[in-house]
Amino acid sequence: MKPVLPLFVFIDACGWEIVRDDSFLQGLAPVRRRLTSVFGYSSACVPSILSGRWPAEHRNWCYFVYDPKNSPFKSLRALRWLPSVFTSRRIFRRWFSRFIKARLRFRGYFDLYNMPFQYISLFDFTEKKSPLQPEGMNRGPNIFDYLRQREVRYHVSAPEQDEELNLAALVKDVQAERIDFAFLYWPGLDALLHRVGNRSPLVPQKLRQYEHWIAKLYSLARQHYAEVRLYVFGDHGMANCVELLDLQSSIDDLPLRFGKDYVAVYDSTMARFWFFSTKARQQITGCLKQVPQGRIVPDAELEAMGTFFPDRYFGELIFLVQEGVLIVPSHMGRRPLAAMHGYHPTDPQSYAALCTNQTALPEEISAIPHMFELMQREADLARERTSTARGALAA
């Protein structure tokens, strides 16, 4: 029997509005807190949770950036001649992404999404390492560096694995009392919400499944650890998509050439632009100002959100749509989705949730990067108690 297990269960898209009116974990983790998310997608949120820093500091923000010099995709340009009915199919893209990921030895999450092969050699991909591993951040340390340095034995999920396999892997480590810290990663709720929206009866059904798994895990852990300090949390919420915006067509209609006058990455809720002439900047800025579904985010606002990059690495101009608007087609997908995230962090559906069995949750834990402090604190506590227990045993 070990003294304590800090158990962090990360559920992608476990939003405040998703669980607010639900009895989710009221028994096992009755203390709840609404957390402010980070502007961006999981590519920004997860690294912020794991490092306690904001994207401007750790530089894991959006996946694709204009960087032809460092593009690892130069050889893919040849594929631009393949018929797009074939290369734009999701099934092909998914299979091909796995192939590319292995070839380029990317360790994080990788998907080509809907990036056109014609222009792919203009772009670099920013998550080459896995933020879920030590030395996995683009800049600075994460919680796994911290745990390794302090020799705290931990478990972390492999996010590409199926949820139940991840649970089973953790159960094994708990049974063997091999670990003093656990980080479990479940991506299923995010995928479900994208598909069915936040009002579907499948959502509470999924929450019941998580409750069931967490209850099983908790009671098992209690057989091996005197105390289990449980934290279940998300990185962002999910808003139903009520309006589609074909931003790309509006920009394409301008007398400008992609790759010559400007470059853009069309994410699902934002578009990021790089300009090669004053004319392009003026025309695109003018065009965007006519789009009522969104707005250009001023630098000061980006700075306040921790997503301003003075070197403009992620784009010289960031256009963001209103909650509920989806950019379709985009470089992320050709088809509409029922729901999306990546809107302004103060939009109602953006907030994340934290549920815990710890009544003394520090007041200052109010945004998802603060989860890092919490994890640090819990790791220190586990380390201290484990070494005291070991000392007592030795005596």
Residues binding Zn ion (CB under 5 A): 190
Nearest distance from residue 270's CB to Zn ion, in Å?
A: 14
Alpha helices in 125-252 (DSSP H): 143-149, 163-175, 188-196, 202-224, 247-252
Point out the residue whose Cβ comes nearest to Zn ion.
Answer: 190
Cis preceding-peptide flag for 329 (omega within 30 of 0):
yes
| 48 in Cβ contact with 139 (< 8 Å) | no
Residues paired with residue 66 on neighbouring β-strands, in sequence order: 123
3-state secondary structure of 183: strand
3-state secondary structure of 181: strand
- Residue of 332, 330, 272, 322 lying closest to 295 (CA atoms): 322
Beta carbon nearer to Zn ion, 190 or 323: 190
Nearest distance from residue 241's CB to Zn ion, in Å?
A: 12
Beta carbon nearer to Zn ion, 109 or 274: 109
Nearest distance from residue 13's CB to Zn ion, in Å?
A: 6
Beta carbon nearer to Zn ion, 194 or 383: 194
Nearest distance from residue 79's CB to Zn ion, in Å?
A: 26
Beta carbon nearer to Zn ion, 190 or 267: 190
The vertex-114 CA angle with 108 and 115, nearest 5°, equals 80
3-state secondary structure of 356: strand
Nearest distance from residue 42's CB to Zn ion, in Å?
A: 6
Beta carbon nearer to Zn ion, 236 or 383: 236
Beta carbon nearer to Zn ion, 237 or 369: 237
Beta carbon nearer to Zn ion, 188 or 204: 188
Beta carbon nearer to Zn ion, 127 or 190: 190
- Residue of 255, 247, 253 lying closest to 273 (CA atoms): 247
Nearest distance from residue 350's CB to Zn ion, in Å?
A: 12
Nearest distance from residue 90's CB to Zn ion, in Å?
A: 15
Q: Where are the beta strands (DSSP E) in the chain?
A: 2-11, 31-35, 64-66, 123-125, 154-156, 181-186, 225-233, 239-240, 243-245, 262-266, 270-275, 294-296, 317-321, 325-327, 339-340, 352-356
What's the CA gap between 6 and 266, in Å, rounded?
Answer: 39
Nearest distance from residue 97's CB to Zn ion, in Å?
A: 16
Q: How many CA atoms lie within 13 A of 335 on its CB side?
A: 7
